[in-house]
Amino acid sequence: MPYNPFFEEDIDVLVEEEVTDDTGTGELSQLIVYNDEVNTFEWVIKCFEEVLRHSSEQAEQLSVIIHTKGKATVKTAPLKDLRPKKDALVERGLSAVIED
């Protein structure tokens, strides 16, 4: 990948929302995005902002983590809430899965 101006050795991730399970079951799932050699940082950031409603700072940080570690959990929520978000990311060309 080209030079990444967002890369820092120590990475702090902004957490902007409290996750609650509105189904009452207490079970949350994780939306995970994997690194690839196709999508640009700019595209991944835009997808996270539009689909997941992350701030630009959080989207940038997650894209760096995905690039350096190979994957990252980008959202935690009940499964029913994550399915459409995962589908939207996959439709945009990202490699995304849901794990319990």
The answer for 58, left when phi > 0, alpha when psi is -120 to 50, beta otherwise, is: alpha
pLDDT bin (cut points 50, 70, 90) of residue 1 is very low
Query: Is 24 contained in some domain?
Result: no
Q: What percent of the chain has pLDDT over 90?
A: 72
The answer to whether the CB of 91 falls within 8 A of the CB of 46 is no
Query: Is 55 contained in some domain?
Result: yes
What integer pLDDT is reported at residue 21 of this predicted model?
46
In the chain, the number of structural domains is 1
Phi, psi of 28, deg, nearest 5: -115, 150
Query: Is 78 contained in some domain?
Result: yes
The overall pTM is greater than 0.95: no
Query: Is 12 contained in some domain?
Result: no
Summarised one tens digit per residue, pLDDT across range 40-82 is: 999 999 999 999 999 999 999 999 999 999 999 999 999 999 9
Query: Is the per-residue pLDDT at 18 higher than 60?
Result: no
Give how far the C-alpha of residue 68 lies from the chain's centroid of Cα atoms, to the nearest Å: 14
- Is residue 94 exposed (0-12), middle (13-18) or buried (19+ Cβ within 10 Å)? buried
Range of the domain at 80: 40-99
